[in-house]
Structure 1
């Protein structure tokens, strides 16, 4: 089949009747537009993502995007990819209530700044496709009942059964705007796009492809699981949502090979993995959401059993799909992904530690009418409680199969921004502090915590990128060396690395020896508390 036929096949699984006819017509017109073929470099063992806002760094003179460029050049030479959290004008939620998908927020800079960054590093754009600001032109045209926008959002319908809808927030599902009540998954300011209308899907598709034309090498699909709604269902992970992603994957494979689609679905593990499709036809990467709470649990308990047991279920997906691994991000640490991995008591232990370390706990509404912990808002270093544990935790991240992504506050050893939470009442602000570049650079020399974490993580990243065994499409085998350590083997193209970390506060003696890439010396089996080794050998 040619590209148009394949797209029509996808559309036939999304729409029916007159909607299908309209969708096929709209996509036929889209395909004849002058799309420049883009061929990006494939991700490999050198790939490491930095997660950052466009204005995470400032110097009081230049546009923040220009300052970010200097931070990358001066301090982060081994980060290959930059995940830019929403860079568009917005009205709330620190960028996730987008006013205009196609403009750069003038506070950050211009498209020229983005293009300059794209010449130095691969960029990941955040596509907030599920919802848009109530102040956006799209929603205002809907409120005015303009013909092309009259079905662009989801109005309340008494016949539509919402009793089973999955809720990530405790706010109302519908909010009123003039005479209309509209579906709002996340907040009154964020109205959900209605992709049941083919006009909405074509608009979103055009934006997606436009991002690639403007320099994106990866596209993060924010909150994608909520995209399609259907009466009587959870309106989460529905087949039509998966088919939309498959449609986009088909287009990208043909028009922009190696551009990565990364799905963000903070849900139980099995549901998350469903976004790989058959391994070749849907997401290139899925967020490894169980990893942050599991690693945290491992260091709190001093026991690697649960992490090892879960890790044994993680296998290579395909030659074009792998895992997007992280420990911290602009959001908090999600607990839903470990609902079927950790016991309630183990999850409560994590919650207690976060509260004891000045963190915040966010709740969601359950179908039974109760509220349950949904997200832990805290700096990851503060959650762990020590510099040594922070570096050891990132050793696990950098060893694990997939592509590692590190939050800017993690690489720079930041602390909780309690003042921001107190001033705004927004729990997520605890880990979103903007950093003065000159002050940061000075503190990386003078502040012991910043310096130790920054240098420790930077050293590991620099070593990792030299080793083919860490290829994200390679093999992984979990080793059982005792509950005081977490150990695995990574292998690819005849190379093998054994990664071992002591997650306890006591020295462990292991029956393992070999050359350690980190210390550049022979390892004889004695591993102090929170220390680690990468032992290199040839794969059998």
Structure 2
């Protein structure tokens, strides 16, 4: 039978079922039915690929639609008005005025009330997008920094209450700031009510997770899987003391992977997602998206079904909370990262490739790999955008393409070893004070932790009382954020970077944190540093002014919000150049990733006649050559 006929027939049956619902007015049912109809194919197509072979597929679909309808009924009027505006302008996040910041609530402001008091500070930075690290209930001791979720609805009592979160969201929106939260949809903590019931043998909730009576099936899966935290544990399965059964735990033993092969899991997680949307959250960061589907004989990463899940969740939001968008977190091969970015999947995405290669270029003083990445892998489809970050709460993994490296004559394995040595301070001449994270002795793989300032050489410069080293470090930080602010997409500030926050080694004295070196860069907001940022002649003041200057200038130039980019060849392996343009302006960005001054040819650059360098507000002199100081950053606006 023709697919369109089947869809229409199914939709008609669902409309009849909706009309029997006691909740909602006739008008509300008509509005919802219209939204369902507009997005029905986008909803059913991925769901049928996931669950179409279930005999009760229609019953599942009906249950899902009714629950989505009830969630939509609960949505506040002001949020439905926001939905309407976002449906008209679906690329609302693509603007030079969009500037993001990210933090842990407790580290930045103690609690949600404290964060309300920091809104003016965020506005002074020009922040229009605030991502708060996990703030919902999680185990007291080991909780993976909040990513072991015990409830998707109860705020951690040490941070505040749900009502305080609602109040914060409203005040942020009134001040032009959209809130982003994490949606940890791959796993729950073993203290979640579903996990507790499963542990007690409840057959309904045991199907929410992957349970095995013995090692036979886990061993079949395990031979294709990688260890995520090899220093902490081997394998992706944990044996329960209570029953002797094994449960799938990709990350930590207390984080139980959800079983999305069970459609009840999808329905339940869709409800949790819409609950967050109804609080007023505008952006959900989907955590660990590559891992959500399991299939024997594969590495259980980046499977087609993982994409179908995102498409289905996306369709649910388009029906019941259109103002809500997704941010992808996929720290995988650059091609796999881009596969998650789509108007019907994740509209925005972390850009781990750019982040890693900015640090790579600082270590090597060469921009070859970075240029190749921008040239081949940066441009996205319309109505999507990168989130360009320098540092985050997580480690740095060297996620450049081995194929790109090979084209440049670089051995990818050896190069990653070099970068790990350089940023952990094991390479002679390194300026970095980073720490190793999760070293795997089998393949020598590891990642790097540290704050932007400590990785950039500021900590070393202060230790050595070396003004030259300090100055270089400050310039490196400005360079990194200068690229993030100008390359196109949404720049993301890891709060504390603007004050030069250094590594905090006190985590080593905490039993629940000492095995996780990522805590070295999860630094408490420093009131003294903030006070120093107000004073001239301080490192904090210098950095704060530089970062603010970059942000303020970004908001005045539409080309920095545009996805259009053209790499320009400078003839110098140390200097990156790219052209940003819109119908109204053109800006050339130049960045020297070496501490040495270089002279470059301007032959490949557009004419510099009547051009102005924006950061220094000086006119450019037209010439065949141009000198760029060590770690120099130029934003050159060309004449109309």
TM range (shorter): over 0.9
Does residue 1:86 correspond to 2:126, yes or no? no
Does residue 1:477 correspond to 2:540, yes or no? no
Q: CA deviation at 1:258?
A: 4.7
Contact 2:488–2:559 (CA under 8 A) maintained in structure 1: no
- For residues 538 and 308 of structure 1, the distance between their equivalents in structure 2, rounded to whole angstroms, comes to 25
Secondary structure of 2:260's match? coil
Q: CA deviation at 1:75?
A: 5.2
Q: CA deviation at 1:73?
A: 0.9
- For residues 95 and 341 of structure 1, the distance between their equivalents in structure 2, rounded to whole angstroms, comes to 35
Match of 2:544 in 1: 454
Q: CA deviation at 1:292?
A: 2.1
- For residues 373 and 302 of structure 2, the distance between their equivalents in structure 1, rounded to whole angstroms, comes to 22
- For residues 534 and 339 of structure 1, the distance between their equivalents in structure 2, rounded to whole angstroms, comes to 31
Secondary structure of 1:244's match? helix
- For residues 440 and 8 of structure 1, the distance between their equivalents in structure 2, rounded to whole angstroms, comes to 53
- For residues 221 and 310 of structure 1, the distance between their equivalents in structure 2, rounded to whole angstroms, comes to 24
Does residue 1:148 correspond to 2:204, yes or no? yes
Does residue 1:361 correspond to 2:436, yes or no? yes
- For residues 30 and 4 of structure 1, the distance between their equivalents in structure 2, rounded to whole angstroms, comes to 15
Residues 268-294 of structure 1 deviation map (CA, whole Å, 9 limit, x = unaligned): 111111112xx3321101221112221
- For residues 384 and 349 of structure 1, the distance between their equivalents in structure 2, rounded to whole angstroms, comes to 16
Residue range with higher mean Cα deviation, 281-290 or 67-76: 67-76
Match of 2:636 in 1: 535
Contact 1:4–1:28 (CA under 8 A) maintained in structure 2: no
Match of 1:517 in 2: 614
Q: CA deviation at 1:340?
A: 4.5
- For residues 245 and 275 of structure 1, the distance between their equivalents in structure 2, rounded to whole angstroms, comes to 8
Contact 2:580–2:586 (CA under 8 A) maintained in structure 1: yes
- For residues 26 and 354 of structure 1, the distance between their equivalents in structure 2, rounded to whole angstroms, comes to 52
- For residues 70 and 509 of structure 2, the distance between their equivalents in structure 1, rounded to whole angstroms, comes to 50
Residues 90-143 of structure 1 deviation map (CA, whole Å, 9 limit, x = unaligned): 121111111111111111122233223323220001011111111111100111
Q: Which has the higher strand share?
A: 1
Contact 1:169–1:363 (CA under 8 A) maintained in structure 2: yes
Structure number, greater radius of gyration? 2
Aligned length in residues = 528
Contact 2:499–2:544 (CA under 8 A) maintained in structure 1: yes
Does residue 1:316 correspond to 2:379, yes or no? yes
Secondary structure of 2:352's match? coil
Residues 197-217 of structure 1 deviation map (CA, whole Å, 9 limit, x = unaligned): 111111111111111111111
Distance 1:348 1:166, change over 3 A: closer
1:50 to 96, 101, 122: 101
Q: CA deviation at 1:483?
A: 1.5
1:298 to 361, 364, 388: 361
Residue range with higher mean Cα deviation, 19-28 or 94-103: 19-28
Does residue 1:396 correspond to 2:486, yes or no? no
Distance 1:235 1:469, change over 3 A: same
Does residue 1:198 correspond to 2:198, yes or no? no
- For residues 364 and 29 of structure 1, the distance between their equivalents in structure 2, rounded to whole angstroms, comes to 48
Contact 1:66–1:113 (CA under 8 A) maintained in structure 2: yes
Does residue 1:239 correspond to 2:336, yes or no? no
Contact 1:354–1:383 (CA under 8 A) maintained in structure 2: yes
Match of 1:503 in 2: 593
- For residues 135 and 438 of structure 2, the distance between their equivalents in structure 1, rounded to whole angstroms, comes to 27
Residues 45-104 of structure 1 deviation map (CA, whole Å, 9 limit, x = unaligned): 11111011111224xxxx522222333313553010001110101121111111111111
Distance 1:19 1:461, change over 3 A: farther
Does residue 1:8 correspond to 2:44, yes or no? yes
| Unmatched runs of 5 consecutive residues or more in structure 1 | none
Distance 1:333 1:87, change over 3 A: same
Q: CA deviation at 1:316?
A: 3.2
Higher relative contact order (CA 8 A, sep 6+): 1
TM-score normalised by the chain length of structure 1: 0.92
Contact 1:266–1:337 (CA under 8 A) maintained in structure 2: no
Distance 1:33 1:340, change over 3 A: same
Q: Which has the higher helix share?
A: 2
Contact 2:68–2:316 (CA under 8 A) maintained in structure 1: no
Match of 1:18 in 2: 55
- For residues 279 and 400 of structure 2, the distance between their equivalents in structure 1, rounded to whole angstroms, comes to 34
Matches within 5 A, 1:37-436: 37=80, 38-39=82-83, 40=86, 42-43=92-93, 44-58=95-109, 64-74=111-121, 76-77=123-124, 78-91=126-139, 92-119=143-170, 120=172, 121-156=177-212, 158-159=216-217, 161-162=220-221, 163-170=223-230, 171=233, 172-177=235-240, 178-179=242-243, 180-276=245-341, 279-342=342-405, 343-356=412-425, 357-363=432-438, 370-385=442-457, 386-421=473-508, 423=510, 424-425=513-514, 426-436=516-526
Contact 2:420–2:447 (CA under 8 A) maintained in structure 1: no
TM-score normalised by the chain length of structure 2: 0.78
